[in-house]
Chains A and B, each alone.
Chain A
């Protein structure tokens, strides 16, 4: 059942009532709010102001918005200078370009230099769709989380993206926020708790009616695929398989304590992310479990391949990140349990 403490949208399994909004829209809204809260918030764009949703901020605070042109290295490094001069710069582009093209500049001038810059990578994942693999960032969680001094947040819907943006403006130091292009289900609410670095249980086996299902598998996800994980959890419960669904929106710092605790409880883990299975959320979870609570794991994500053009939902299916794939992974990991 849905965790009542998570205060999720109660209609989330009713597709007719579900609101669909892209996480980038939540970011755009959050950025304006952050700008209202703190006059030191500034924003920079590299010729993608509208599609990264920085436009509303740029219109509202023209003197605090800087257009750098198609120049992502300049985007990161100008922000680095602003960030050590009392400003809180948000830089937005497509994740393949920033933090893709400008990785070293981010490493040296933002992370190592400890400049207060917030890097926003939009159009992450294969759900970017028709633009194809060149524009589908599937490596950005890995490349950002391996950087010392960098925090990494992957919001699951537009509301969480708004909260993450506001939180990032208040956190001192470099933060990476990963966003999607496509509209996706808004299944959290304004009341859903969000604390960077803390996981949130979204689903756990029902305790009310009849027999209590034991939690047998822990599903840890981030981003919009968590919605698929919730549907999978509901379906699995009908098959008498109890799972916990955990929203690990913060990949760094990972909520190690809670993940270890729940992995010990279930003894099996499936990770779900719209990202390479190499080095992303799954990799981060595997690192801490190998050390503290080794157990069978399955990894939902891009299996060391590039994406391609196509409709978002079909790409997610084709590359093994659909609801059925998650259910299959849960059953597989169950069989691997001793």
Chain B
């Protein structure tokens, strides 16, 4: 991984801001889809695809690539927008999200779009699939790393904890997971629907290394992944505290924005806010 200097941080901030704008455009075009989680994870996706991952958009099936598995498939607008910016397909294609004959399915389908490692949408199964890939890498003596992005809501799934147990027991240090700890899900705030806390202690009890970060701070994200790489006897869970809807004031931290898109006028307002943020970042250079 390259050094993250101020210039690179600025570059990532600008990109994440553009990705957020694309997410708004995609969602309003589609007329349905998940706003809050997508916007909240834009910084993390940007950090992975533009700084952390060893990957090549022109060779999406390159066997030695790092794998990024999105377990909570409903936030695929952020994955699609990031993949497009990273060169896996054209940014123009983003407007086909959820449309007939599109490769950008409402939930990601590995078979149709380059850059996807799994098909997802049904929650709680991503970490296990990442484990399967980590086991395969271990069997083949491969050095690539496996990153699995999960949501906090899906931590209520039994399948997820089966995976947590397995990775801890098998000391899968080539596996790094991250949870979007945004405290929202469909029916309300996660701690009200079904509390997860103390989450850090839960993972530690399952023999994982745990790092808590601010999921909007690029230094935090990059440092956490570097630390995870240095831990050789355990898998690592990065608990990333994020603000759902980040960047759009009227969406931020409101669980009602989990699964709806902005309408035309809301989209206009959202884009205006994001453009102002973008100009501020530019001004800072």
Q: How far is the CA of A114 from the CA of B162 in the complex (A)?
A: 23
Identify B166's interface contact among A63, A74, A108, CB under 8 A. Answer: A74
CA distance in complex: A109, B135 (Å): 17
Identity of the chain A residue whose Cβ is nearest the Cβ of B117 in the assembled complex: A84
Q: Is the CB of B165 within 8 A of A81?
A: no
Query: Which residue of the partner chain B has the closest CB to A63?
Result: B139
B158 contacts chain A at the CB level, 8 A cutoff = yes
Q: Does A275 contact B (CB under 8 A)?
A: no
B125 near A108 with CB under 8 A, answer yes
Q: Answer whether residue B122 sits at the interface, using C-beta atoms and an 8 A cutoff.
A: yes
Which residues on the A side are within 8 Å of B187 (C-beta)?
none
Stretch touching chain B among A5-13, A64-72, A164-172: A64-72
Given A84-B110, A108-B125, A113-B118, are A73 and B131 neighbors across the interface (CB < 8 Å)? no
Q: Which residues of B contact A76 (CB under 8 A)?
A: 128
- CB of A79 within 8 A of chain B? yes
B132 interface residue, CB < 8 Å from A? yes
Interchain pairs with CB closer than 8 A, number? 100
In chain A, what residue has the closest Cβ to B126? A77
A78 interfacial by beta-carbon distance below 8 Å: yes
A interface: dominant SS: helix
Given A84-B117, A85-B137, A108-B119, CB of A78 within 8 Å of CB of B159: no
Min distance, Cβ A190 to any Cβ of chain B, angstroms: 32
| Interfacial residues of chain A within 76-93, with CB under 8 A of chain B in the complex | 76-87, 89
Q: Check A82–B135 contact: CB distance below 8 A.
A: yes
Give the docked Cα–Cα distance between A252 and B47 (Å): 45
A79: chain B residues at CB < 8 Å are 132
- With CB as the reference atom, state the residue of chain A lying closest to B159: A73
Q: Which 4 A-B pairs have the closest CB atoms?
A: A81-B132, A77-B128, A85-B136, A74-B162
A-B contact pairs, 13 of them (CB 8 A): A63-B139, A77-B125, A78-B132, A81-B133, A85-B133, A105-B125, A108-B119, A108-B120, A108-B125, A109-B119, A109-B125, A113-B110, A113-B118
**What is the interface of chain B, defined by CB distance below 8 A to chain A?**
63, 109-111, 117-122, 124-125, 128-137, 139-140, 158-159, 162-163, 165-166
Residues of chain A whose beta carbon lies under 8 Å from any beta carbon of chain B: 42, 63-64, 66, 68-69, 71, 73-74, 76-87, 89, 104-105, 108-109, 112-114
